[in-house]
Chains A and B, each alone.
Chain A
Amino acid sequence: MAVPLGAFIAVSAVLFFIGTAGVLVRRNAVVILMSVELMLNATNLALVAFSRRYASIDERGSVFVVFIFVVAAAEVAVGLAIILSAYRNKPTVDVDEIRQLRG
């Protein structure tokens, strides 16, 4: 009995929303960044699952995943750079304390 496609998608969904919850709930900026990575992984999983299921018709989901890898890596680098320069400004990574855009 093979694993149904829906199971993979369900796992992907749950992981995605765990990541979303992490972004919305945690204070530490680095942890938020980690949660974002979780979300990206979840989408990769879903894409690959669909791509492999319908590989005879269309394998391009996997190609897209390659590009997601690239973008995710770039995003982590830049995100950390932002966190670090913000840290230099005011030595906190607490997102609730960064309110200068208020009003």
Chain B
Amino acid sequence: MFDLIEPALFAILTIGIISAGAGVVLANRITTSALLMAFTFLNVAGMFLLLGAETIAMFQVLIYVGAITVLILYGVMFTPQSPRPYGLFFQTQKFWAALFVVPIAIFVALVAFTFKDSAAVGAKGGDLIPLATSVFRDFAFPFEVASILLLAAMIGAIVLVKRDEE
């Protein structure tokens, strides 16, 4: 009985991800899109837990659901749009986009199922120790570079948004 817990959780999370993702793309109101995006992030965090990557799941919640969602909401807040007719909802190139995307999606999904091995996903033990060891020992230099990248992005964002004071 307990054996079925994993597939069941997986199914629930999958439905959540896919429908929320579709909702982000198709929703009328931007705020709906933003909140559905946050919900997608949460579901993905659940997937991480299912895989046994607790640290990553924690990061996911902190960074994506916490920071990025808030940023997006700020963006929504500062770019008010007058109400638009529905007809202008999609870009002019929607036809071509669909044409490109759908075949690829189907193809990749099919290919994905070739990974049939049903060996247990979710290795024993957490991922914190290997992760920490890797980041702070083997990849210490990229870690430092990443911090500089964040600094640069922060400065860049500030400079871009600054008003020219007369």
Task: Tell whether A and B belong to one assembly.
Answer: yes
Closest chain B residue to A65, Cβ basis = B56
| Contact assessment for B122 and A52 in the assembled complex, using a CB-CB cutoff below 8 Å | yes
CA distance A13 to B108 in the complex (A): 7
| Contact assessment for B98 and A80 in the assembled complex, using a CB-CB cutoff below 8 Å | no
| Contact assessment for B24 and A81 in the assembled complex, using a CB-CB cutoff below 8 Å | no
| Contact assessment for B100 and A24 in the assembled complex, using a CB-CB cutoff below 8 Å | yes
| Contact assessment for A81 and B6 in the assembled complex, using a CB-CB cutoff below 8 Å | no
Nearest CB in chain A: distance from B2 CB, A: 11
Nearest CB in chain A: distance from B113 CB, A: 5
Which of these, A6, A63, A78, A94, contacts B131 with CB under 8 Å?
A: A63
List of A residues within 8 angstroms of B67 by Cβ: 73
List of B residues within 8 angstroms of A27 by Cβ: 88-91
Nearest CB in chain A: distance from B41 CB, A: 7
CA distance A81 to B163 in the complex (A): 12
List of A residues within 8 angstroms of B112 by Cβ: 6-7, 9-10, 12-13
Interface 1/0 per residue, B150-166 and A, CB below 8 Å: 10111011101101000
The A/B interface has a contact count, at CB < 8 Å, of: 253
| Contact assessment for B154 and A48 in the assembled complex, using a CB-CB cutoff below 8 Å | no
Which of these, B63, B115, B123, B163, contacts A9 with CB under 8 Å?
A: B115
> B1-40: which have CB < 8 Å to A?
3-4, 6-7, 10, 14, 17-18, 21-22, 24-25, 30, 33-34, 37, 40
Number of contacting residues on A, CB 8 A? 75
| Contact assessment for B51 and A81 in the assembled complex, using a CB-CB cutoff below 8 Å | no
| Contact assessment for A62 and B53 in the assembled complex, using a CB-CB cutoff below 8 Å | yes
Closest chain B residue to A21, Cβ basis = B101
| Contact assessment for B90 and A26 in the assembled complex, using a CB-CB cutoff below 8 Å | yes
6 more contacts with CB within 8 A, not counting A26-B89, A34-B34, A81-B161, are A9-B115, A19-B21, A55-B123, A75-B153, A78-B156, A83-B75
The 7 closest A-B pairs by CB, nearest first: A74-B153, A24-B97, A6-B115, A17-B105, A22-B25, A81-B157, A81-B160
Interface residues of A (CB under 8 A from B): 1-22, 24-31, 33-35, 37-38, 41, 44-45, 48-49, 51-53, 55-56, 59-60, 62-63, 65-67, 69-78, 80-85, 87-88, 92-96
A-B contact pairs, 25 of them (CB 8 A): A1-B7, A2-B122, A3-B50, A7-B14, A7-B112, A11-B18, A13-B105, A14-B18, A16-B108, A18-B21, A21-B25, A24-B97, A28-B81, A30-B79, A34-B33, A41-B44, A44-B44, A53-B123, A55-B130, A59-B127, A60-B138, A62-B127, A74-B152, A77-B71, A83-B75
